[in-house]
Amino acid sequence: MMRVVLKVARAQARDTLRSRSIIVYALFFLLLTEGLLRFAGTSSQALLNIATATLLVVPLVTLMLTTIAVYNAREFIELLLAQPIRRSALFAGVYLGLMTPLAASFAAGVVLPIAFHRSEQSAIALVVVAIGVALTMIFSGIGLCVALTTDDRLRGLGAALGIWLLTAIAYDGIVLAIVAMFSDYPIERPLLGLTFANPIDLARVLILLRLDVAALMGYTGAVFQRFFGGIAGSALAAGALVLWIATPFGLGARRFNRKDF
C-alpha cells in the first residue's frame, strides 16, 4: 500500500510543482521575508510580520489551491480509481502530493532569506516555519474534504473561502465579543479552550509566546504563558495540532472511500 501512496504522491507532486501558482507562492514568501528582514528594523519585528503573513496567507492559499486541484483532477482521480489500487492509498497519495509541494514552497520562501541573513532569531524562525507547515497540513486536509463534499466547483470554492474567513478573520471577532460579554468573569481558562478550537488561533498563540510579546497581553498573556510555557501545555498544544492535522485527513479519507465518482 505504501508503494502506491508514494507513487501517486510523486506524480501529483510533480504536477503541482510545475504549476505556476506554486512558484508564485514560493516567490511571495521569498520576497516578503527578504523585504521584511531588510527593512523592518529588528529581526524580531520582521519575524512578527512574517508570522502574521503566515497565519493569514498559508491557510488561504492552501485551501484554495487544494480545492481547485481536486476539482481539476476529478477525471484523473476517476482514471486512477479504475486501476487495481485501494481508495485509501489513492487518497493518501493525492493528499501528500498536494500538501508536500505547498509546504516546501512556503518553507523555502521563508527559510532561504533567513539563512542568507543569518538572523540571530533563527530558532524562532524555525518555529514559524514549523507552524506554517502544520497549517499547510491542516488546511490541505480541509480543502480536500470540501472538494470531496460538494461536486459544484463554485460552491466548493465559496465554502473554502468561508472556512478561511471564519478561522482567520471572524473567529477573533467572536472571541473578542465573548471576552467583552463576560468581562466580569474569570474567562482565561475558557479562552484557552477557544484557542484550541481554531488551528490558526492555536498557531498564533504558539508563535506569539515564542516572540516574547506575551507580556503585552496582560494577565491573559501571563495565563497563556504559564500554560503553554510548561511541558504539559506544550505537549497539549502539539497534540492539538496533530489532532487538527489528523481529523480533516481522516474525514477526507472516509468521504473519499464512500464517494461515488
Partner 1 sequence: MIELRELKKQFGSNEVLRGVDLRVRRGRITGIVGPNGAGKTTLIKTLLGLCHASSGEIRIDGQRVGDDEQYRARIGYMPQIARFPENLTASELFTMLRDLRGEAGSLDGELLDRLGLADQLDKPLRVLSGGTRQKVNACMALLFDPDLLILDEPTAGLDPLSSAVLKDRILALRARDVTVIVASHIMSELEELCDDVVFLLDGVTRFSGPVAQLTSMTRQANLERAIAALMIREVA
Angle at 147 between CA 144 and CA 153, to 5 degrees: 150
**What percentage of the chain's residues is helix, strand, coil (to nearest 5)?**
85, 0, 15
Establish if 18 lies at the interface with partner 1 (CB under 8 A): yes
Q: How far is the CB of 87 from partner 1 (least distance, A)?
A: 8
Cβ 209 to partner 1, closest distance in Å?
Answer: 41
- 44 or 72: whose CB is closer to partner 1? 72
- Quote the CA–CA distance of 248 and 164 in Å, as a whole number: 15
Q: Which segments of 82-121 does DSSP mark as H helices, in order?
A: 87-117
Nearer to partner 1, 116 or 261 (CB): 261
Distance CA 200, CA 58 (A): 10
Q: Does 102 bind partner 1 (CB under 8 A)?
A: no
Residue 226 in the binding site for partner 1 (CB under 8 A):
no
Q: How does DSSP assign 163-203, residue by residue? A: HHIIIIIIHHHHHHHHHHHTTTS--HHHHHHHHHT-HHHHH
Interface characters, 126-165, with partner 1 (x: CB under 8 A): ----------------------------------------
Name which of residues 34 to 93 contact partner 1 (CB under 8 A): 72-76, 78-87
CB of 26 to partner 1, least distance (A): 16
Q: Give residues with Cβ within 8 angstroms of 228, minimum separation 6.
A: 205, 206, 209, 234, 237
Instruction: Output the smallest distance, CB 80 to partner 1, in A.
Output: 7
Q: Phi and psi at residue 86, in whole multiples of 5°?
A: -75, 145
CB of 59 to partner 1, least distance (A): 24
Record the cell numbers describing residue 198, joined without a space: 481554531
* Least gap, CB of 1 to partner 1 (angstroms): 11
Residue 8 near partner 1 by CB under 8 A = yes
Interface with partner 1 (CB under 8 A):
3-4, 7-8, 10-12, 14-16, 18-19, 72-76, 78-87, 258, 260-261
